[in-house]
Copies of this chain bind each other. A is one copy, B any other.
Amino acid sequence: MINKVVENAEVAVRNIKDYNVIMLGGFGLCGIPENCITAILKLGVKGLTCISNNAGVDDFGIGLLLQTRQVDKMISSYVGENAEFERQLLAGELQVELLPQGTLAERIRAGGAGIPAFFTPAGVGTEVGQGKEVRTFNGKDYLLEFWLKADFSLVKAWKGDTAGNLIFKGTARNFNPMMATAGNITIAEVEELVPEGSLDPNQIHTPGIYVQKIFQGTNYEKRIEQYTTSS
């Protein structure tokens, strides 16, 4: 099958350019493409538009790219807990577009699935609905929302094979599968890269067709935001 393996994160991200639109998987710090973020820091591209449910914390995840001022715009649903983010936003240095989480997820899914627009009830009558087309179906109002696509999608999976097939683990799946479908180039970093034929075809979460580059990630920190135990 077609082999998608590249050597490492630096090689994988090297075609990202200034002002590109990039999607980054993850919910909070769970399931984020840690290696790709580090490689983008090193690459030094500027003016990025980042589509990601959250914006990381001050010193981890997308927060690192905010510190280096590589991001011009964030499209997210929740950006709490990030002081540098707040500073840049209030200083007018960062554009922010906030979307309902389900609308964000569905717009990305639509981008990958060739659906240019769809109707959703989320945000009707709110700031989110301002300027958007409203239509009534069965007596309920819905907003017209458009697909989202990216120049590059950066996703993190648990296991992946050389053909680009991916399996996620736990709630680290979150936005990764949709983003994998919506990138012009999708780069997958995986905790365990295995030969094709090692994964059960029936258990693949993201078919390899969506993935252009895959590499074995290293040194995963997997930082926990709210360490909570029963005892």
Contacts and interface: CB of A to CB of B under 8 A. Distances in A.
A11 interface: no
Contacts of A14: none
Contacts of A227: none
Contacts of A167: 202
B116 A106 contact: no
Interface of A: 106, 110, 113-121, 135, 137-138, 140, 142, 146, 167-170, 202-203
Contact of A114 (B116, B120, B203): B120
Contact of A117 (B110, B119, B170, B202): B119
A119 B120 contact: no
B118 A115 contact: yes
27 contacts: A106-B113, A106-B115, A110-B118, A114-B120, A114-B121, A115-B118, A115-B119, A115-B120, A116-B119, A116-B137, A116-B138, A116-B140, A116-B142, A117-B118, A117-B119, A117-B135, A117-B137, A117-B142, A118-B118, A118-B119, A137-B146, A167-B202, A168-B202, A169-B202, A170-B202, A202-B203, A203-B203
Contacts of A114: 120-121
Contacts of A117: 118-119, 135, 137, 142
